[in-house]
Amino acid sequence: MHDRIRRDERRQIPAVSKILDALGQSDLPRPFVVELVRRKLSQIRASRVAPEFESIVADLRRSLDECRACRLQSVINGTGIVIHTNFGRAPLSSEAMHALNEIGPAYSNLEYDLANGARGGRGVYVESALALLCEAEAATVVNNCAAALLLIVQHFTRKAGRAQPQPARRGEGAPTCCANSSSI
């Protein structure tokens, strides 16, 4: 008797295809939408209470709307902060966009040394140019402040050739200590 009731409850849970038909076309990738529907149905099965079909569809529409809102899209920066990290930092100049459009659609020599016909370094050109412009022995380029901080801490904490772990501020993904793998 108990098993029969449970089977009847499960029959109330709609099929994935029925929900997809009710949702209609979406501007999100179909595999993503299908997975979202499957996860929702799995939650319903686990709760053992089948809500009304319209409620399921409405809940999934809300979830899809939330996913759409998370995609990258243009915004107006009215904060007064020019290089705002939450807004993708500073917009690219038209010259930078032109350069990306020129090299982006094709293969490039990102890590390939054309002169030697072998694997090369990723930042050789920019590091050489930066060192030359700054009249320095060498230069390096990193993509964020956390990486720059790690290099600075390693440089100033070296003792007898080994970096000493230093406490770091906890924050967005900041490590609890900064040290290279050879010092551990």
In this structure, are 66 and 104 located in the same domain?
no
Residue 81 lies inside a defined structural domain of this protein: no
Higher pLDDT, 76 or 171: 76
What digits encode the pLDDT tens for the residues 62-105? 999 998 888 888 888 888 888 877 888 788 899 999 999 999 99
How many residues are recorded in the chain? 184
Q: Are 138 and 158 in contact (CB under 8 A)?
A: no
Q: What is the 3-state secondary structure (H, E, C) of the chain?
A: CHHHHHHHHHHCCCCHHHHHHHHCCCCCCHHHHHHHHHHHHHHHHHHCCCCCHHHHHHHHHHHHHHHHHHCCCCCCCCCCCCCEHHHCECCCCHHHHHHHHHHCCCCCCCCEECCCCEECCCCHHHHHHHHHHHCCCCCCCCCCHHHHHHHHHHHHCEECCEECCEECCCCCCCCCEECCHHHC
pLDDT score of 4: 53
In this structure, are 123 and 146 located in the same domain?
no
In this structure, are 134 and 172 located in the same domain?
no
Residue of 147, 119, 156, 151 whose CA lies nearest to 138: 151
In this structure, are 22 and 11 located in the same domain?
yes
Domain count, the chain: 3
In this structure, are 20 and 60 located in the same domain?
yes
Give the residue numbers spanning the domain of 180.
142-184
In this structure, are 48 and 14 located in the same domain?
yes
Q: How confident is the model at residue 175 (pLDDT cuts 50, 70, 90)?
A: very low
